[in-house]
Amino acid sequence: MKIIKNNGIADITIIDVGITILAATQYTIPSQDYMLWASSNDIIVYVGSSQLIVNDGSVDLELANAIALIQGNFTQKLKIADTDGKTIDSVLDTDNVRRLAIDIKGNVAAFSGIGQLSEKVAITIDGEYINAWVNIPLSLINKIADVTIFDQTGYEKIEADWRLLSNNSTLQIRSQISHTFTVHIEGYYFTL
């Protein structure tokens, strides 16, 4: 939506689009006229001098965004806030990889892959636990997507029995010999 507000006390005629916006009124640009307004120099002058204000249907825009909206290349930035409502302004760049972890709260109908987590758990099965299903403790993941089991070094893949329970929130493995495993788990953390 592209709305032009005239909050002043005088009517303003934007000559090169052929529109007069009366004092203390606003005008919604018809979509058919977007290209006409996009090429207008007069609207830039009025917006630049703060005589007219551009609103995107939600908020009044600052100058650069206002002009960008009129000219059709405006994309609103979304602000991400933490649980206290504090806006996150920057993302720490570690290992030359820009990452942002986002917890998804609320009812999630479909997961888009954002916020994927991975955990490694070392576990030794021996004694009475041999040939029994053993729970793998997870620190954060509560929705398991994939499991890979390695040997103690964490590099050599091992075929071992494993299963998911409780709607993919619990992982169990089983070994017929005494062994120390490194279990790689990929999944997500949901709070509803």
For other proteins, the binding residues (CB under 8 A) are 11, 13, 15-20, 22, 27, 30, 32-33, 35-36
Q: How far is the CB of 73 from other proteins (least distance, A)?
A: 20
Q: How far is the CB of 36 from other proteins (least distance, A)?
A: 7
Distances, alpha carbon 50 to alpha carbons 21, 40, 56, 70, 81, in Å: 14, 16, 16, 15, 30
Among 39, 38, 14, smallest CA distance to 27 is for 14
Among 115, 118, 116, 127, smallest CA distance to 154 is for 118
Q: How far is the CB of 105 from other proteins (least distance, A)?
A: 41
By C-beta, is 45 or 140 nearer to other proteins? Answer: 45
Q: How far is the CB of 17 from other proteins (least distance, A)?
A: 6
By C-beta, is 15 or 101 nearer to other proteins? Answer: 15
Strands 190-191 and 104-105: parallel
The answer to whether 144 touches 165, Cβ cutoff 8 Å, is: no
Phi, psi of 165 (to 5 degrees): -130, 170
By C-beta, is 36 or 68 nearer to other proteins? Answer: 36
By C-beta, is 18 or 72 nearer to other proteins? Answer: 18
**Tokens matching residue 173:** 């493995």
By C-beta, is 15 or 122 nearer to other proteins? Answer: 15
Q: How far is the CB of 25 from other proteins (least distance, A)?
A: 9
